[in-house]
A and B are shown apart, each in its own frame.
Chain A
């Protein structure tokens, strides 16, 4: 007959059975999400039919990397919850679709600084640069650290393509072949598809940096430029003016 004592006195078996018991809890919560169709909203531009949420352009992607490297997520979340107070302060609640290309996603439940899910376009580039170099020069009560080196450090481009290839492996639709590019044209439109082409990544990045001039310094492309480009795109991909207020309720 089975004896509980057998498990308790046999540490190898105890470990295996403990792992089994714990994974059941995890799997029951996680696996169904992959089969529920409504989990991630299908957000298309009503006028063009193109997907509104796109992967980051190369410059924005490098900005995201710096965001993670500097640990911005330890104080800033990127998830506006569907509550009236959050709606009034931050704007429309976040959609699951809006972070589907984030690896890892930047949701969170701890806000030492404000939520950044819709910070894009809220402040000017000049403000961001000034704020990043010396936060207290523009927000006297801020406790954010200074990040002055971002404006001086040149952005490393040599591993740009590798970074995009890695993300492609986990499902971000950057393109390498003509067929993949054509598929992106169908999904996102030509202008966006070009920015997702891994083969053109470096040119795309330089072009966006020169055009946007995010840090006001035309001499070189800095990490500040990438980070500001990233911050300025946050929460701006979905144009909520094109949808009825209740549109996204149907996905819940």
Chain B
């Protein structure tokens, strides 16, 4: 080491290294507070090593002295070294927020739907908790307000239900999902027949239609040629078991008829659906939501549709 010397101008200590004849480096000591902070972090590290999983050793690692006790599914208490997975398990069981929610979830799980709707406390819980689930799991398709996207994803705020509005029917929809299917009729119907059936569908919901064509369309609808009545029933009121739409209630879920101005455009929209058929899928949520969460969601949907 070069001998420490002092800088003649400032009097400060230098490292004694000299480059390019005069270029020198100050050797100022670190501030005391900084040095002590540094020592403190070293001590903290050692405590941390001892408390939490740290150094790898052979085929395993030091687990640390800190422990977490949680309850297993079988109801036994289990203690393990500190780790984030056990921490989560404990948090889900005994965390402050989790316990608060559990209190309500237990209450809702035990109550019948009418009672949930009437009890202001439970109804408020369903509104906020259900809204959270709906926002993440449902809103991507059915939209934040439940209004859906015509043609793609059904509206959940009206009174029209494709698969039924009873709590057990909605539960079934959520648990196992649904496959909405209507066969395409482009091979079955010629242009005239397509026109006639579409006119009949128009007349079903009181829209202006070609009466002559609608009469012929009715025969196809109710006859073996179309077989539409299998799912939509002879009255056209639809069938929950098949997810077949009610065609008489002026609510359109696939063909966006109300958005079309002229009768021709409305007819064309209906024709497109009959020609191409429908294939829509609602995913199953049984593995994503607990039974109670599904119940909360059903109660929330009931609130959304104003029932």
Contact = CB atoms under 8 A, between A and B. Distances in A.
B42 interface: no
A124 B70 contact: no
B78 A246 contact: yes
A251 B63 CA distance: 12
B24 interface: no
Nearest to A118: B288
B98 A125 contact: no
Interface string B54-95: 001011110000000010111000101001111111011001
Question: What 6 A-B pairs have minimum CB-CB distances, sorted nearest first?
Answer: A32-B56, A252-B83, A124-B281, A82-B88, A244-B73, A82-B84
A246 B140 contact: no
A138 interface: yes
B136 interface: yes
Interface stretch (A70-78, A87-95, A196-204): A87-95
Contacts of B85: 82, 93, 248-249, 251-252
Contact of A124 (B58, B60, B283): B283
Contacts of B61: 32, 36
A127 B84 contact: no
Contact of B60 (A37, A245, A248, A249): A37
B28 to A, nearest CB: 18
B41 interface: no
B6 to A, nearest CB: 20
B56 A36 contact: yes
A84 interface: yes
A36 B60 contact: yes
Contacts of A91: 288
Contact of A122 (B17, B60, B153, B288): B288
A5 B149 contact: no
Interface in A11-42: 32-33, 35-38
Contacts of B144: 140
A127 B2 CA distance: 73
Contacts of B70: 246, 249
Interface string A117-155: 010011111110011000001111000000000000000
B124 interface: no
Given A121-B284, A252-B84, A84 B98 contact: yes
B34 to A, nearest CB: 23
Residue picked from B78, B92, B287, most chain A C-beta under 10 Å: B287
A118 B283 CA distance: 13
Contact of A244 (B72, B95, B288): B72
Contacts, number: 105
Given A32-B56, A241-B287, A252-B85, A89 B73 contact: no
A32 B73 CA distance: 33
B294 to A, nearest CB: 14
A84 B88 contact: yes
Given A5-B17, A124-B280, A127-B141, A138 B60 contact: no
Interface string B107-119: 0000000000000
Contact of B95 (A37, A81, A84): A84
Interface string B268-307: 0000000000011111100110000000000000000000
B251 interface: no
Interface string A228-242: 000000000001110
B74 A244 contact: yes
A81 B84 contact: yes
A137 B56 contact: no
Contact of A123 (B60, B141, B149, B287): B141
A32 B60 CA distance: 9
Residue picked from A89, A139, A245, most chain B C-beta under 10 Å: A245
B97 interface: yes
B72 A246 contact: yes
5 contacts: A84-B92, A84-B97, A125-B281, A246-B72, A249-B85
Contacts of A251: 85
B16 to A, nearest CB: 10
Contact of B89 (A36, A88, A127, A249): A249
B137 interface: yes
A216 interface: yes
A249 B288 contact: no
A245 B140 contact: no
B141 A138 contact: yes
A240 B286 CA distance: 12
Given A84-B91, A244-B73, A138 B140 contact: yes
B152 A87 contact: no
Nearest to B70: A246
Nearest to B61: A36
Interface in A84-109: 84, 87-89, 91, 93
A148 to B, nearest CB: 17
A133 B2 CA distance: 70
A122 B283 contact: yes
